[in-house]
Amino acid sequence: MRELLHRVATTTEKHRVERLLAKGITEWWRSEDRGFEFGWDVATMPTGEGELLLKAAVECPWPGAVESSGADSWGRVSRLTAPSPAPGMLFGLAVAVDGADLGVGAPRESRGGVALAGAVYLFSTGHPNYDVWTFDSRLQPDESVGGRSEAGAVYVFRKRAPVTGGWSMEQRLTDPAGNLQSAHFEAALAMDSQWLAVGSPGAQRAAMLARGGALAPSRPWTGGSTLTVSPAEADDFGHSMAIADGRLLIGAPRRTGRGAADLFEQNQGGANQWGQTRMLVTPDAAAGDAFGTSVALADYLVLAGMPGRDTAAGTNAGSALLFARNFGGAENYGVLKTFIAPDGSGQSRFGTAVALDTTHAVITAPFADPNGRSNAGVVYVHSRNYGGVDQWGLLQATAPEEMPPGSQFGMAVAMDRASFAAGAPMAPVAHGQGRGMVELYAFRGRTLYDDWAAGWSLHGANGVPSADADGDGQNNLLEYFFGSDPGAPDSIGTISSRVNGGKLIVTFPIACVCKGVGMLTGETSSNLEMWVPATPAQIVQDNASILQIEVPVTVPGRRFVRFRGELP
């Protein structure tokens, strides 16, 4: 008699993994220095006569889920839930990640008897591989707010000094153009060090607020300008937003029934004014595409999702478009890649959430049905040169087995540096639907830094970016960027400074600045607590190879200068 044995439970102990199957049969794997072993344990011999034959069938239903030889990959490193999960809180409906800090929204959490008050949970990591995350703080407004105001508001919190720790509420912001019922001034946020953009899709507008004060520890956000498009129509302008390098992208998924995304740029129409420079649409737009439901920016690239797109896979299977500046003409934004899920199906809504950097694009389908698990969700990761130069091939598709039907994994996604987070707001936790969870993934590919460390024979603990192999107070990351010898103390050289024309000019000698090794950001401070990007920060390459930063000194006081290095 032939019978398919289903998995009952999985256990892990050191180098051994066991799967308990039906009929009292255990399937096991063991990996040790001497090699890899695989086998079965049979607790009770089945009845009947003849030979007992066990067969293992291995399948990979998600293309790219298994890493190909030589390719980079993203591995799951952590699963986060709210410290006290509550039914219907929707933990993971919104996520944001900034290096070692992660924010997770739970918009329907109740507080102190106030229904739907909402909360934001903050997690952090100090691990160089981004694989250990701990709960930091739970943010809620200091005032009592019942439910969600249809007009909307934004609450700004500031991280306290490292000694005291924690976060404190700094401001409550409302629409500078005036509160309008059903405006939803909070529906989408985008932020950099100087600007905060807030979408009000119910009012068909967005607000740009500027950071006040150059180097003050606490700099309030003040009303800058209101952005609109013409003609004003019920298009959900402000539904999604992304900001980077003086560009702001705003999604309007209902415009003309098809959707659009509007690109604004700084200093258009005047200093620090934001003006619309173009409107992006899909070339073969169709009604219900919902183009612009999600948007992302990275350098010269623009990514926009259209989860309502009908494809050969079915109605609302979804798609996403990657645009590139200067593709198809100077300053033109041409379609570089059209993404669809190779295993997509109707109602998957691929493109609901997107995240982007210059080498990876993450696109989600929270209503996909992996292995028959209805609306469990799938997250797809594409790599720029996977399958060929600038091919943006599918590197992996992630659909964790632990996500039961209805989890909506991928309803939100955010990426920064070497990690990305994906929310599953409807995932059951402790048998409560809608409590939610967030999955964290870390980049596991080989980088230029890895090659540099291997070239200097830095291995194990001595090879991580935070290590200081030669004990000179300059970690490997600094040595890497400045081209110095990580095995020779104080090899970076002498730093010099001078004042000229109302500016403090600090010069760092370096061996080389190589394109693609990462990013150096010049920063200044007056108190070692609040650091802001230097204006301007200049990298100067000549025969002497120097890195130079200029800091205005028009007012008395102390000035501190540093360069912050980030790996790609």
What's the CA gap between 442 and 346, in Å, rounded? 30
DSSP E strands, 301-365: 301-306, 319-325, 333-339, 354-356, 360-365
Which alpha helices (DSSP H) does 2-102 contain, by range? none
**pLDDT beyond 80 at 323:** yes
Query: Of the ranges 187-191, 394-398, 408-412, 489-493, which is most confident?
Result: 408-412
Q: Which residues pair with 266 in a beta bridge?
A: 274
8 A C-beta contact, residue 154 and residue 185: yes
pLDDT score at 30: 67
Q: Which residues contact 503 (CB under 8 A, 6 or more apart)?
A: 550, 551, 552, 553
What's the CA gap between 247 and 236, in Å, rounded? 20
**pLDDT beyond 70 at 142:** no
Is the backbone of residue 16 left (phi > 0), alpha (psi -120 to 50) or beta?
Answer: beta
pLDDT score at 498: 79
What average pLDDT does the structure give for the chain?
79
8 A C-beta contact, residue 366 and residue 377: yes
Which residue do the tokens 């150096």 mark?
Answer: 520
Which residue do the tokens 């000179």 mark?
Answer: 472
- Higher pLDDT: 213 or 466? It is 466
Is the backbone of residue 367 left (phi > 0), alpha (psi -120 to 50) or beta?
Answer: alpha
pLDDT score at 451: 67
- How many other C-beta atoms lie within 10 A of the C-beta of residue 522? 22
Is the backbone of residue 410 left (phi > 0), alpha (psi -120 to 50) or beta?
Answer: left
- Higher pLDDT: 148 or 489? It is 489
8 A C-beta contact, residue 512 and residue 475: no
What's the CA gap between 283 and 288, in Å, rounded? 14
**pLDDT beyond 60 at 107:** yes
Which residue do the tokens 């990876």 mark?
Answer: 360
**pLDDT beyond 90 at 186:** no
Q: Which of 47-61, 220-234, 319-333 has the lowest mean pLDDT?
A: 47-61
**For residues 351-375, average pLDDT:** 95
- Higher pLDDT: 361 or 113? It is 361
Tell me the pLDDT tens digit for each residue of 508-561: 766 544 444 555 667 777 777 777 766 544 444 443 456 677 776 666 777 777
What's the CA gap between 419 and 444, in Å, rounded? 10
Per-residue confidence band for 387, with pLDDT thresholds at 50, 70 and 90: confident
- How many other C-beta atoms lie within 10 A of the C-beta of residue 381? 23
Per-residue confidence band for 346, with pLDDT thresholds at 50, 70 and 90: very high
**For residues 321-327, average pLDDT:** 94
pLDDT score at 407: 95
What's the CA gap between 365 and 289, in Å, rounded? 15
Which H helix or E strand runs over 476? helix 476-482
8 A C-beta contact, residue 92 and residue 436: yes
Which residue do the tokens 């049905």 mark?
Answer: 369
Tell me the pLDDT tens digit for each residue of 439-452: 999 887 666 677 67
**For residues 185-208, average pLDDT:** 88
8 A C-beta contact, residue 547 and residue 508: yes
Percent of the residues in the chain that have a pLDDT greater than 70, as a whole number: 73
The dihedral through the CA atoms of 527, 528, 532, 536 has a sign that is positive
pLDDT score at 307: 97
8 A C-beta contact, residue 196 and residue 240: no
Per-residue confidence band for 28, with pLDDT thresholds at 50, 70 and 90: confident
pLDDT score at 527: 74
DSSP symbol at 189 = E
Per-residue confidence band for 151, with pLDDT thresholds at 50, 70 and 90: low
Query: Of the ranges 52-66, 190-204, 247-261, which is most confident?
Result: 247-261
pLDDT score at 515: 42
Tell me the pLDDT tens digit for each residue of 29-70: 665 544 556 677 776 666 666 555 555 443 322 222 222 223
Tokens of 428: 């059951």
- How many other C-beta atoms lie within 10 A of the C-beta of residue 79? 15
**pLDDT beyond 90 at 310:** yes
**For residues 248-259, average pLDDT:** 94
Q: Which residues pair with 314 in a beta bridge?
A: 311
**pLDDT beyond 50 at 311:** yes
- Higher pLDDT: 449 or 164? It is 449
Terminus-to-terminus CA distance in the chain, angstroms? 55
Q: Which of 404-413, 450-459, 461-470 has the lowest mean pLDDT?
A: 450-459
pLDDT score at 520: 63
8 A C-beta contact, residue 419 and residue 440: yes
Pairing mode of beta strands 319-325, 301-306: antiparallel
